[in-house]
């Protein structure tokens, strides 16, 4: 068993991060497996060395240990480029020149009704999908979207099929102590083809300023590190569908996924890095112990 915790160094870790990291760490250690730390710093404009240092400090204080050296995504551009090139050469990617305002405007057209919102925000209406390719080589410095319809057909996932939680199925596996996802899912996703096509759409796999995206890099790195079990919040339940599809397209093994409950603030809202009052470092400075943190998050 190999698990991982993969934070972005764009702010302090909060109680929600502590819960997820502790769950992944304990799962691996209880099974005699390996826990890894990965720094997801593809957003170089927001990533900071001081936040990365605080991540290490907080996790060590919590009693976590991990295999070294730590993988940093900012050192993995060639691997992401190779994955993108594979998808591009098979005609599964296209260049998108739309900005956020363009997407909102097209998705909010009078005959379109209220725009659908997926794991990446407003579901892309396909404005650039039919534009002819000007070049055959993988382009640089542009946004690249996955043609979801073509990708699903190539992956072999049928519209009438489903991805099942059963381990022997091999298409999609999830395990959840609570028994449900954010909208009542039980780990069995019916009509996965239609859901990805209609409710998620042509996701961005390379941003013009990054050269990659969260969806692509996390899939490539999980495969590279041999991650067998992914522990993360139920807010990423739909993103898992994208990741499983990419694993099929790139011939990667699909890990087992656990989508755990979210740690929320006193108003019931999901924690974010702007919630400094919930930061692990704030509790440390106030004299809390690692056991206090475990108690606060229900462990």
* Two domains, one topology: 1-75+264-299 and 76-262: yes
Task: Provide the CATH number for the domain formed by 76-262 in this structure.
Answer: 3.40.50.620
Domain boundaries, the chain: 1-75+264-299, 76-262
Q: In CATH, what is the architecture of 1-75+264-299? A: 3-Layer(aba) Sandwich (3.40)
Query: Could you read off the pLDDT of 107-121 as tens digits, one per residue?
Result: 776 655 677 888 888
Query: Could you read off the pLDDT of 151-200 as tens digits, one per residue?
Result: 988 887 654 444 444 333 333 344 433 344 445 444 444 445 667 888 88
Query: Could you read off the pLDDT of 194-248 as tens digits, one per residue?
Result: 678 888 899 999 999 889 999 999 999 999 999 999 998 888 888 888 998 999 8
**Angle ∠(97,100,44) on CA atoms, nearest 5:** 85
Q: What is the pTM of this model?
A: 0.86
Q: What is the DSSP code string of 147-191? A: -HHHHHHHHT--TT-EE-S-TTT-S--B--SSS--TTS--S-EET
């Amino acid at each position: 068993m190999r698990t991982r915790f993969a934070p972005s160094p764009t702010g302090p870790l909060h109680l929600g991060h502590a819960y997820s990291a502790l769950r992944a760490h304990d799962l691996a250690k209880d099974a005699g497996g390996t826990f890894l730390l990965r720094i997801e710093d593809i957003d170089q404009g927001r990533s900071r060395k001081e936040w990365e240092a605080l991540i290490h400090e907080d996790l060590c204080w919590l009693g976590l240990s991990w295999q070294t050296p730590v993988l940093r995504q900012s050192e993995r551009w060639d691997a992401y480029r190779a994955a993108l090139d594979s998808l591009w050469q098979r005609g599964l990617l296209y260049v998108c020149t739309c900005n956020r305002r363009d997407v909102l405007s097209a998705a909010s057209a009078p005959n379109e009704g209220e725009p659908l919102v997926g794991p990446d925000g407003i579901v892309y209406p396909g404005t650039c999908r039919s534009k002819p390719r000007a070049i055959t080589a993988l382009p640089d410095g542009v946004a690249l979207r996955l043609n979801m319809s073509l990708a699903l057909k190539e992956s072999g996932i049928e519209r009438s099929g489903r991805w099942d939680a059963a381990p022997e199925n091999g298409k999609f596996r999830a395990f959840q102590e609570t028994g449900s996802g954010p909208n009542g899912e039980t780990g069995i996703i019916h009509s996965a083809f239609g859901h990805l096509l209609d409710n998620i759409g042509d996701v961005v796999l390379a941003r013009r300023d990054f050269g990659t995206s969260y969806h692509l890099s996390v899939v490539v790195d999980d495969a590279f590190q041999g991650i067998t079990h992914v522990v993360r919040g139920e807010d990423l339940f739909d993103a898992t569908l994208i990741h499983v599809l990419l694993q099929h397209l790139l011939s990667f093994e699909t890990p087992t996924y656990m989508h755990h409950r979210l740690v929320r603030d006193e108003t019931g809202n999901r924690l974010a890095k702007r919630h400094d009052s919930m930061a692990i470092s704030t509790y440390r400075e106030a004299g809390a112990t690692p056991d206090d943190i475990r108690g606060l998050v229900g462990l």
